[in-house]
Structure 1
Amino acid sequence: MQIRLWDHNLKVRLIGEALFNMLFWMYFPFLAVYFGEALGHHIAGLLMAIPPVFSLMGSLLGGAMADRFGRRPVMLFGALLQTLMFGCFALSTSPWFDYFAFIGIGLGGAVYRPASSAMVADLVPAPYRRQIFATFTTANNVGAVLGPALGAVFFFQYRQELLWTCSLVLLLYVIAIFFLVQETLSPTMKSQGGSSSITRVFKEQWNGYGFILRDQVFLVYTLAGIFALVPIMQLDLYLAVYIINEVPAQPLLPWLSHSPMLTSTDIYGWVLGLNGLLFVLFILPVTKWLQHWKERDVFLLSSLLSGIGTFALGLHTQLWFLFFVTIVFTFGEMVRSPVTQSFISRYAPAHARGQYMGADSLQATVGRFLAPVTVFLSNWLSPLGIFSIILGFALISIVLYIQLFRMDVHTPETIDGRKD
């Protein structure tokens, strides 16, 4: 499905999200290092596990509200909250207030994402969803090519200017959503009781999520995704600590006598840049290549490549070896992303799609809660020990995905007993 044939809403969001993500990758990968230097790795490891709890609540609430009030108002609220929190981050002079703003940014993004994904599913026929989600992933990762390399300079030397720029770009995106993006949730699909009290609204949404999480297929799918994401999430957690602290400075082109030298921080920026470049260049061809693969096989391939690739990072510190294994685990991450979104778009009933998208974010939020344990344990375990734990998470996800596809994965009866 060519971009010129896309709905206007999707075009606006593609441009806006691509611009913001370019700035996102200039600051986010360095937060674990920043908080580690400011507060100590022991405390930073614990602190990095807390924001996902708030993100979890934001995702569940955002998904439920997207079904009750529509996609557009929820997206506006999430983007506006991020705008304000970036401003607070830029004004802060305390690492603890920085941390508070970081939580707020994550909360705003968590509220935004389920409504955003549900809007794509509203507008795009099922056969084209993998391709559309892959295109969004490509746009989001364009910034991951240059972002980390630039962020290695700007985040540590011009942090306030960078954060103010993020706030401004998001404010412009909020304005674009307000004036250019139209609501996609049909009035007949909206949950009833829009005028109910806040207490009743929360009670109804909690009951709805209780139904979703009692869905055995969805529960196994969620658990498998949590364990699969822990290795992938190390890119901006333990991998940053490992490369900056364990990988020595070395020439970029060791076979040349006048090769430029890269510091440990430079090497980390190059690894992140390579990860983003691979996404930009290959996610659409890879998605097309795998479009006839069964979802089960794609999930298993993803867990295997990301687990083995991440584990191999601990085997050697030579620069080009690190580049090679970066390619391996990046392909594991790459093949997973569009299939995950298309799976839940297909599985979720249309009138409860926002709630299922919100519940689907349990994978990322709980995974983000567990992933920093590697930074915490790095005070006591060797790098190879940490990477062995990461590989263990990937192997558990493989077992769970095998179990998932032995179960019935047809659309379930929904919260009010209907089927779509």
Structure 2
Amino acid sequence: MRVLLVNQFGVNTGFYLLIPYLATHMTEDLELSAALVGVVLGVRNLSQQGLFLLGGTAADRLGVRGVIITGCAVRTFGFGLFAIGDSPAVLLAAAVLSGVAGALFNPAVRAYIAVETPAPRRAEAFALFTVYAQTGALVGPVLGSALLLVDFRLSATVAAGIFALLTVIQTLVLPARAVPAAPTSVLADIKACLANRPFMAFTVAAAGLFTLQNQLYLVLPFEANRATGWAGSVAGVFVLSTVVTLVGQVRITRALGDVSRKRAIAVGLLVMGLGFLAPAASYLWPALSVPAVVVAVLGLAVGTMIAQPFVYELVPAFGAERVTGTYFGVFYLVSGAAAAVTTVVVGWVSDAGGWWACLVCAAVGLVCAAGMRIPERTATWATS
């Protein structure tokens, strides 16, 4: 667990050290068109989101340790290509490798934690995992901005070096797990997962968590800029969200240890959704715009802290231990697709007014919270 926590800190540090500055590098340093930049970034995202299932099934069949190490090694090469490449072909190859790497180690790491952590402490383990991830997400951009004072290629080289170091550390230290024999084929396991109605209902409802989290990059920056008239206020959104998470995540998860998991997740989704009503109302009372953004950021952060560890805790409860990776892969694939579609809708309605976007986000939280509370007698998580 300690190795995986350090790994996630390093993964997010290396990722956020490079990716937030990639678009600027391609447009300003390499003078590529905005359309081509969009293709490169889209390919990276598609390579990761679209292949989560591959990473999950590989973790079940080949072992989580090997898949995690392979993922870090592949991202080392991907980020290394960003450091040396200046042609569209090389940049696209780097984007694909970087995305595939994330698709490999993301479900594998969570499957490893879920299987190795005793059930009573699983939610707390995922809470700690979130804290380390958020710390990396805070350190990465700061380190990246400092390295950019020298050169983007130095940033990419350091990011690749971080993943190379993680590859070596995990090869030497991360314990291997025995891979149980698989009595069924990969396709049969995936079909069984998709046919698991309680799991799919849970996944669709939990997708609201990731949909609303994505608004930290779309709706809330827009609202912060509108409220203050200062582009630098966007950074304050991320800092506030990160600091609140670092301070409160483990405490909140421990405090909710005896609460029904379904109820806790539903409350978290509800808090996330209700937070967006504040900026929607500020269109009627502009003087409250700044406090409204703070309320939305806090609602999003607190709701995520309430729900996310328990979501990760329950995903493997729907299937046998040997297919934990497959279930995480399907969960991420469905959640990612739902988040992408909803974010497009949010962006579309924003043209009619920012308050519409806030209301859509609030509705997502309310609907998904209600969906999480739908009785399901056949689900193992109904009474958990």
Query: Which range moved further: 65-74 or 388-397?
Result: 388-397
Per-residue CA deviations over 1:338-358 (Å, capped at 9, x if unaligned) read 101111133331122221122
**Residue of structure 2 in register with 1:406 after alignment:** 376
Deviation at 1:31, TM superposition (A): 6.5
**Residue of structure 1 in register with 2:278 after alignment:** 312
Give, as a single letter, the amino acid of the residue that structure 1 aligns with 2:201.
Answer: V
Cα contact 1:86–1:164 (8 A) shared by 2: yes
If the length of structure 2 is used for normalisation, what is the TM-score?
A: 0.84
Q: For structure 2, list consecutive stretches of 5 or more residues without a partner in the other structure.
A: none
- 1:68 matched to 2:39? The reply is no
Helix, strand or coil at the partner of 2:276: helix
**Residue of structure 1 in register with 2:199 after alignment:** 218
Deviation at 1:174, TM superposition (A): 0.5
**Residue of structure 1 in register with 2:254 after alignment:** 288
**Residue of structure 2 in register with 1:377 after alignment:** 348
CA distance in 1, matches of 2:206, 2:27: 27
Deviation at 1:283, TM superposition (A): 0.4
Over 3 Å counting, the alpha-carbon distance change for 1:154 and 1:337 in structure 2 is farther
Over 3 Å counting, the alpha-carbon distance change for 1:228 and 1:137 in structure 2 is closer
Per-residue CA deviations over 1:238-261 (Å, capped at 9, x if unaligned) read 4345545x4544xxxxxxxxxxxx
**Residue of structure 2 in register with 1:136 after alignment:** 129
Deviation at 1:276, TM superposition (A): 1.1
CA distance in 2, matches of 1:97, 1:267: 35
Instruction: List aligned pairs for 1:33-112, cutoff 5 A.
Output: 44=38, 51-93=44-86, 98=91, 101-112=94-105
Q: For structure 1, list consecutive stretches of 5 or more residues without a partner in the other structure.
A: 1-9, 194-203, 250-262, 412-420
CA distance in 1, matches of 2:188, 2:48: 19
2:10 maps to which of 11, 19, 29:
19
Give, as a single letter, the amino acid of the residue that structure 1 aligns with 2:266.
Answer: L
Cα contact 2:203–2:334 (8 A) shared by 1: yes
Give, as a single letter, the amino acid of the residue that structure 2 aligns with 1:216.
Answer: R
- Between structures 1 and 2, the one with greater helix share: 2
Helix, strand or coil at the partner of 1:384: helix
Over 3 Å counting, the alpha-carbon distance change for 1:152 and 1:39 in structure 2 is farther
Give, as a single letter, the amino acid of the residue that structure 2 aligns with 1:181.
Answer: L
Cα contact 2:14–2:160 (8 A) shared by 1: no
Cα contact 2:346–2:360 (8 A) shared by 1: no
Give, as a single letter, the amino acid of the residue that structure 1 aligns with 2:205.
Answer: A
- 1:174 matched to 2:167? The reply is yes
Cα contact 2:206–2:368 (8 A) shared by 1: yes
Deviation at 1:286, TM superposition (A): 0.2
Helix, strand or coil at the partner of 1:361: helix
Over 3 Å counting, the alpha-carbon distance change for 1:385 and 1:321 in structure 2 is closer
CA distance in 2, matches of 1:307, 1:270: 20
Per-residue CA deviations over 1:130-149 (Å, capped at 9, x if unaligned) read 11111111111113344455
Deviation at 1:109, TM superposition (A): 1.0
Cα contact 2:278–2:295 (8 A) shared by 1: no
**Residue of structure 2 in register with 1:341 after alignment:** 312
CA distance in 2, matches of 1:387, 1:33: 28
Query: Which range moved further: 360-369 or 147-156?
Result: 147-156
CA distance in 2, matches of 1:384, 1:28: 30
Over 3 Å counting, the alpha-carbon distance change for 1:89 and 1:383 in structure 2 is farther
Give, as a single letter, the amino acid of the residue that structure 1 aligns with 2:51.
Answer: G
CA distance in 2, matches of 1:376, 1:97: 31
CA distance in 1, matches of 2:76, 2:218: 24
Give, as a single letter, the amino acid of the residue that structure 2 aligns with 1:267.
Answer: S
2:182 maps to which of 180, 191, 196:
191
CA distance in 2, matches of 1:129, 1:379: 39
CA distance in 1, matches of 2:80, 2:62: 27
Helix, strand or coil at the partner of 1:183: coil
**Residue of structure 1 in register with 2:214 after alignment:** 233
CA distance in 2, matches of 1:65, 1:343: 21
CA distance in 1, matches of 2:361, 2:16: 23
Cα contact 1:301–1:332 (8 A) shared by 2: yes
CA distance in 2, matches of 1:397, 1:34: 38
Q: Whose relative contact order is higher, 1 or 2, with alpha carbons under 8 Å and at least 6 apart? A: 1
Deviation at 1:273, TM superposition (A): 1.4
Cα contact 1:69–1:190 (8 A) shared by 2: no
Over 3 Å counting, the alpha-carbon distance change for 1:155 and 1:372 in structure 2 is farther
**Residue of structure 2 in register with 1:414 after alignment:** none
Cα contact 1:66–1:74 (8 A) shared by 2: yes
CA distance in 2, matches of 1:409, 1:183: 31
Give, as a single letter, the amino acid of the residue that structure 1 aligns with 2:200.
Answer: L
Over 3 Å counting, the alpha-carbon distance change for 1:170 and 1:218 in structure 2 is same
Give, as a single letter, the amino acid of the residue that structure 1 aligns with 2:123.
Answer: R
Over 3 Å counting, the alpha-carbon distance change for 1:243 and 1:354 in structure 2 is same
Give, as a single letter, the amino acid of the residue that structure 1 aligns with 2:305.
Answer: M
Give, as a single letter, the amino acid of the residue that structure 2 aligns with 1:72.
Answer: R
Query: Which range moved further: 95-104 or 224-233?
Result: 95-104
Per-residue CA deviations over 1:6-60 (Å, capped at 9, x if unaligned) read xxxx21221122133234334445678889997669x95x986665543244211
RMSD over aligned CA atoms reads 3.3
Deviation at 1:158, TM superposition (A): 4.5
**Residue of structure 1 in register with 2:242 after alignment:** 276
Over 3 Å counting, the alpha-carbon distance change for 1:347 and 1:155 in structure 2 is farther
Deviation at 1:224, TM superposition (A): 0.9
Q: What count of residue pairs does the alignment treat as equivalent?
A: 374
Helix, strand or coil at the partner of 1:131: helix
CA distance in 2, matches of 1:73, 1:312: 46
